[in-house]
Amino acid sequence: MRWTVYSWCQIFPGGSLILLLAIGCSGPRPQGPVEVEVIQPVGPRCQYQIAPATLHTITDLHRVSGQLGSVVANDEVVESRPEILDHGYGFRPVDVEFSRRGNTYYPLDYASLLAASLYYSIERGYLMFASLDGAGDLKTRVPDLSGTLIVLDARRQNDSGNLTREVYDNAEYLPHRVKTSDGTEFLRNYIFAFPNQDISALPLGLNIGILIHEYTHMVFQYLFYEPGISRNVYVTESNEKPTSNTLAAIDEGLADYFSFVSTRDPSFFECSFPNSGRDLSQSRYLTHEIRDSLLSEDRFDPHELGAVIASINWEIGEVLGNHEANARSLLKMMASLLDCPEVVTSRNVLSMNVQSLSACQARAATDSRLAEIIRRTYSKYLSGGDP
């Protein structure tokens, strides 16, 4: 069964549910590796299918929990009281039902398909990073990776002017810092898949590229931000906006690129938001408007500069003919960015722009040819502002 996704209704075609209901439910709680039917990309341009895939890190399929976290739900808006995010209060396992036919488990309803697909997406991101380099294996960096909460139909609120609105049609990685009574701090990691409301194409919770994008933010948190905090590296007030804005854009751009590396679909974002301009294969330049917005608190959009960085890296991988090699060098750069001379001064002051990113990325390249392609491609897209 294969199609190009235009409407989420297509992902559960009529008849398949009837077939699955006739199979009957299994009793034992299956652990990984276990084969489960999930939604997954099968083509270069927004082609998805429901098909069996192996979940390697699952420890309880009936609770959709494993070594990488648990898929959960919560009826409350997470900002409504501190204990929800501070202590994970009110989160519960999603009600799921699977049937077994042979060695494969099949979801019996949409919630079960979504829950299994959410976990599969996060696992796919984890396995990609771990296979690229040991530095990307979050099991070695996150003290309680299994405590990550992957929240289905999460409820959060955004304040915009005098209006407070619930979040829909979005996804988010939230590193929530908690201070204990003895003054120590730790992170609780949340990955939110918000309810679908206006999207008429693929819901974000079923868009593997979107979920791996959020997982990449978690990798960047533990490879860059957390080591920086422990080393007292900080951003001075004089360069706070351009540096912090650039770092936010780097975070977004790398997340887009690693999502492409996993899905092999440069337009993965447009599977959910058609005609949004977030196709990595479309050339994006560092325009004068983006440069100017780096100094602004309200005009800067990290996704715009991030799309430039993602497009640059897509072209680097294409010219090199090996996106995995480029991704490996990027992961190496993420883990060593705090030691790049162009970024951190002897006073532990962080100063970051796209030119310094180019230098640090070339420095982390796995060979001289890749380093030259990096320098040449960045120069092409950064030299003149407008194309």
Q: Please say if the pLDDT value at position 28 is more than 70.
A: no
Confidence category of residue 233, pLDDT binned at 50, 70, 90: confident
Q: What is the pLDDT of residue 366?
A: 85
Three-state secondary-structure class, residue 29:
coil
Q: Please say if the pLDDT value at position 24 is more than 80.
A: no
A 10 A CB-CB count for 345 gives: 12
Q: Please say if the pLDDT value at position 197 is more than 80.
A: yes
Q: Please say if the pLDDT value at position 332 is more than 90.
A: yes
Crossing angle of helices 354-363/323-336, nearest 10°?
Answer: 110
pLDDT (tens digit, 9 = 90+) per residue, 7-23? Answer: 344 444 443 433 443 33
Q: How far is Cα 57 from Cα 70, in angstroms, rounded to an integer?
A: 11
Confidence category of residue 5, pLDDT binned at 50, 70, 90: very low
Based on the structure, what is the number of domains in the chain? 1
Which two tokens mark 311? Answer: 């497009």
Q: Quick check: is 342 in a domain?
A: yes
Q: Quick check: is 109 in a domain?
A: no
Range of the domain at 346: 231-387
| Average pLDDT over every residue of 95-113 | 95
Q: Quick check: is 167 in a domain?
A: no
Confidence category of residue 344, pLDDT binned at 50, 70, 90: confident
| Average pLDDT over every residue of 87-113 | 95
Write the burial class of residue 54 (CB in 10 Å: 0-12 exposed, 13-18 middle, 19+ buried).
middle
String of DSSP letters for 57-98: SEEEGGGTEETTEEEEE-SS-TTSSHHHHHH-TT-EE----E
Confidence category of residue 239, pLDDT binned at 50, 70, 90: low
End-to-end CA distance of the chain: 42
Q: Please say if the pLDDT value at position 238 is more than 60.
A: no
pLDDT (tens digit, 9 = 90+) per residue, 242-288? Answer: 888 999 999 999 999 999 999 999 999 999 998 888 899 999 999 98
Q: Quick check: is 308 in a domain?
A: yes
Q: Quick check: is 288 in a domain?
A: yes
Q: How far is Cα 186 from Cα 189, in angstroms, rounded to an integer?
A: 10
Q: Quick check: is 240 in a domain?
A: yes
Q: Quick check: is 345 in a domain?
A: yes
Q: How far is Cα 261 from Cα 255, in angstroms, rounded to an integer?
A: 10
Confidence category of residue 384, pLDDT binned at 50, 70, 90: low
Q: Quick check: is 292 in a domain?
A: yes
